[in-house]
Amino acid sequence: MNTIGDKRGWGDAQLRKAVEDNTSWRAVARALGLKDTSAGVIRTIKRHAVRLELETGHFTGQRRWTDGQLRQALLGSTCWSEVFVSLGISDSGQDRVRIKGHAVRLELDCSHLKTPHRASMAGEVFDLPVRPELLSAAAPGIAMAWFAMRGCAVALPVEPQVYDLLVTTAAGVQRVQIKTSVRPNGKGRWSVGIGRRPYTLDKSASKMPYDPDSLDLFFIVLGDGSIYVIPSSVLAGRTGIYVDSYLPYRVGDAAGLIAG
């Protein structure tokens, strides 16, 4: 119930249920019928959640894992790489710093996590399994190697851009957007999304085509290793394609890198 002089349009019971049913403060605000982009609204519901001593350990925000999942991952792992595998995310430098920082804030014990021993004995083999869901994380490296092996200088943009790479070719500097598809659809066709979300806070907004004047090439890697390099002018106005319709643009095969 609301307290005397409280101008809220929602009560403690509604807040308690919203916190239980959602995984971020913005989602809680939406559940209460409030503006989720208002910092004042978020501060208000946080203040009342603290007053009610509500449990928010299941909140993930922009994360794909909860505080509880991180605790379990730390308990069951012997090194940071195992923590990432347990959480089902790629082991990037940025994510490693973020997860370590989160563990420190939660005062979790990480002292047992060791750096894995390097394979140094004769006969040792690096045999970590391939994880197809990490193809999008691996694709930029594949693209850089593909262009570099053809004598093209490759650079990463200093600030976020609509393109992922800058590649110097005989035709000049090309702006390259990288796309992937992990597996074919039920009919055996490889569908690839080549659109982007508009610059909006609404992550559910429909994707829109890239401006053909902002890109020069699409570098596409499929889960079977196939590589396509397609001019943006060929795909102008599209947000998705069946890549097998563009076989003339198939330029290579990285199956040896990503095979299980």
CATH code of 214's domain: 3.40.1350.10
**Torsion-angle region of residue 5: left (phi > 0), alpha (psi -120 to 50) or beta?**
left
For residue 115, tell me if it sits in a domain: no
Residue 89, domain extent: 67-105
Residues 239 and 139 placed together within one structural domain of the fold:
yes
Give the number of domains in the chain.
Answer: 3
Q: Mean pLDDT, the chain, as a whole number? A: 83
For residue 118, tell me if it sits in a domain: no
Residues 254 and 144 placed together within one structural domain of the fold:
yes
Residues 161 and 79 placed together within one structural domain of the fold:
no
Q: How many CB atoms lie within 10 A of CB 160?
A: 7
- Whole-prediction pTM value? 0.57
pLDDT for the residue 123: 61
For residue 204, tell me if it sits in a domain: yes
> Which residues 6+ apart lie within 8 Å of 157 measured at CB?
163, 164, 165, 166
Residues 41 and 80 placed together within one structural domain of the fold:
no
pLDDT in tens, 161-198: 999 999 999 989 999 999 999 999 999 999 999 998 87
- Tokens 């403690």 — which residue? 12
Question: How confident is the model over 8-22, as a mean pLDDT?
Answer: 84
Residues 167 and 219 placed together within one structural domain of the fold:
yes
Residues 183 and 213 placed together within one structural domain of the fold:
yes
Residues 13 and 100 placed together within one structural domain of the fold:
no
Residues 41 and 57 placed together within one structural domain of the fold:
yes
Q: What span, in angstroms and rounded, lies between the C-alpha atoms of 95 and 80?
A: 11
Residues 84 and 53 placed together within one structural domain of the fold:
no
Q: What span, in angstroms and rounded, lies between the C-alpha atoms of 62 and 5?
A: 35
Q: What span, in angstroms and rounded, lies between the C-alpha atoms of 229 and 169?
A: 13
Tell whether the model's pLDDT for residue 119 goes beyond 70: no
Residues 214 and 249 placed together within one structural domain of the fold:
yes
45, 61, 77 - which closes a domain:
61
User: How many secondary structure helices (H) and strands (E) does the chain include?
Assistant: 8, 8
For residue 117, tell me if it sits in a domain: no
For residue 36, tell me if it sits in a domain: yes
Residues 160 and 77 placed together within one structural domain of the fold:
no
Residue 69 — very low, low, confident or very high, per pLDDT cuts 50/70/90? Answer: confident
Residues 223 and 161 placed together within one structural domain of the fold:
yes
